Amino acid sequence: MSSVAVIGAGVGGLATAIRAAVAGREVTVFEGAPEVGGKLRQLHLEGYRFDLGPSLFTWPELLTDTLAQAGRHAAPFAYTRLDRSCHYFWPDGTRLTAWSDGEQLSEEIASTFGIDPGPAMEHLARSAEGFEATRGLFLEQSLHEPSSWAPGNALRHLGKAWRGRRALPLTRRLDDWNTRAGHEKLRQLFNRYATYNGSDPYRAPAMLHVIPHLEFGMGTFAPEGGMHTIVEALHRTALNLGVTIHTSTPVERILTERGRVAGVRAAGEDHAADVVVSGADVTPTYRQLLPGHRAPERILSAESSTSGVIFYWGVRHPAPDLHLHNILWAEDYRAEFDALFQKGTIAEDPTVYINIGSRTSPEDAPAAAGNWFVMVNAPAGWETHGLDELRSRVMAKVQRMTGIDVSAHLDCEHVLTPGDIATRTGSHRGALYGPASNKPTSAFLRHRNRDRRIRGLYFVGGSVHPGGGIPLCLLSARITSELMERHDPI
């Protein structure tokens, strides 16, 4: 039986383990942390439960498809569709609810901004068209395999882009493209989607305009029991399939012999394997686990995506104006990204994201209270000498824009900084999404899913193709598994 060693028990690693086990392989997962989950772990604190990692759940079919591969061995997983994606708050007092229903959203835009909502709705239609035209080539298969660019395959997918009613914005920047939304505040709203892969909307390519379709077109969802149930379902399914998972067992070396993987060294012991899949960040994979092997320096030296400073607050306040996802906008959005990418710091007035998981999972907080996940964008590698001052600024902004004095209602607090994220998850400098997508060719700068020099070595997760976030990590697992079956069949 073919044996597979998977490094890392995050979403990508667990999904790959499931697919490999279903294919009939003997799978062992090595996780350095005491528990599985990678970035998507949880914290219990003084009667509150917090999801420590991703808080947004979209494209649920990717997860349910992964679980369905296991047939009767699949663990149960349930989720609900939300009637809105986010509540937006601007410094001048403007508020917008991004409803999931198109007609309701159109009416909300018209009443909030006093404009014809047609351009905004047309902008979303273009997002949907762009997504459907490009997903087959740029998201759902490897960009680094010759077979992907074979004339028949490439023309079949790229033809959709040119057969549509309108051409894709291949040479534009996202901020410029979003002027079509019909209002300056909507332009800012659509610019925010560059942050979904840690990028700068004022430099990122306009092709990122497809991201809003995930929320506005395909929907926003909430797992029953919180985001951590995603990991629980993957973990339980993997175990049901006979996957062996070692926690608190960091991999120290990927073993190779004559240009091919031979296994891994974990906790001082060598484990033979026919195939190795690294779900670790690609930078430490090469720098630490593959000493002596040539590294892809152009990719490893690419500009990092953003990280974040996250405050986990148990707030004993009903916060009636806040929903599951909330955005408190910066006054000067461009200045925020200049600070992040040009000055390497956090803006004086940063945009604040507030997620309150207990809105959909009431058991995660006491009655009339909320488990607040409060995040501001930070540069990867940000030093924490200004953490107390940042905390005060964030609390002041929350009070100014929502009327809630968090400090007067705070039951408990936990904080994660870029350094903490790097230590806990192995992400290079704490970057949340690997390299940033601030260049037109950024999609091609992510690391490949199959190593071209070391046979039997594969990659999965947020730092490799197709990118970061739960849906793309699940896609990377599917792509990697397909490549494994093609190039290293049982």
Q: In this predicted model, what pLDDT tens digit does every residue of 388-446 receive, in sequence order?
A: 999 999 999 999 999 999 999 999 999 999 999 999 999 999 999 999 999 887 766 78
pLDDT at 159: 62
pLDDT 10s digits, 303-332: 999 999 999 999 999 999 999 999 999 999
243, 19 contact by CB (below 8 A):
no
Tell the burial category of 34 from Cβ atoms under 10 Å away from its Cβ (0-12, 13-18, 19+).
exposed
pLDDT at 156: 63
Q: Tell me the average pLDDT of the chain.
A: 94
429, 440 contact by CB (below 8 A):
no
Packed helices 470-487 and 11-22: angle between N→C axes, nearest 10 degrees: 40
Tell the burial category of 211 from Cβ atoms under 10 Å away from its Cβ (0-12, 13-18, 19+).
buried
82, 224 contact by CB (below 8 A):
no
Give the mean pLDDT of 44-62: 97
Tokens of 264: 């891994």
Q: How far apart are the first and last CA of the chain?
A: 7
Q: How many CA atoms lie within 13 A of 147 on its CB side?
A: 7
Domain ranges for the chain, please list them: 3-41+225-302+438-487, 118-219, 306-379+383-416
pLDDT 10s digits, 91-122: 999 999 999 999 999 999 999 999 999 999 99
pLDDT at 154: 60
> Residue 2 and residue 24: Cα distance in Å, rounded?
8
Tokens of 147: 């077979």
CA distances 144 to 65, 182, 423, 466, Å, are: 24, 38, 30, 11
Confidence check: pLDDT of 8 > 80: yes
Q: What angle do CA 50, 53, 56 make, to 5 degrees?
A: 95
Match 């003084």 to its residue by tokens.
Answer: 46
Tokens of 319: 């916060």
Give the mean pLDDT of 376-382: 96
Assigned CATH topology for domain 3-41+225-302+438-487:
FAD/NAD(P)-binding domain (3.50.50)
In 157-278, DSSP assigns E strands to 221-223, 244-246, 251-257, 260-266, 269-272, 275-278
pLDDT 10s digits, 164-198: 557 788 889 999 999 999 999 999 999 999 999 99
Q: Please state, as a whole number, how many other Cβ atoms lie within 10 Å of the Cβ of residue 371.
A: 27
- Of 357, 344, 388, 353, the C-alpha closest to 374 is 353
Confidence check: pLDDT of 483 > 70: yes
In 368-418, DSSP assigns E strands to 370-378, 410-416
> Residue 6 and residue 174: Cα distance in Å, rounded?
36
Confidence check: pLDDT of 466 > 80: yes
Write down the number of H helices and E strands in the chain.
15, 19
pLDDT 10s digits, 209-236: 999 999 999 999 999 999 999 999 999 9
Tokens of 65: 């498809």
Tokens of 398: 């929350």
Residue 37 sits at φ, ψ, to 5 deg, of 125, -25
118, 180 contact by CB (below 8 A):
no
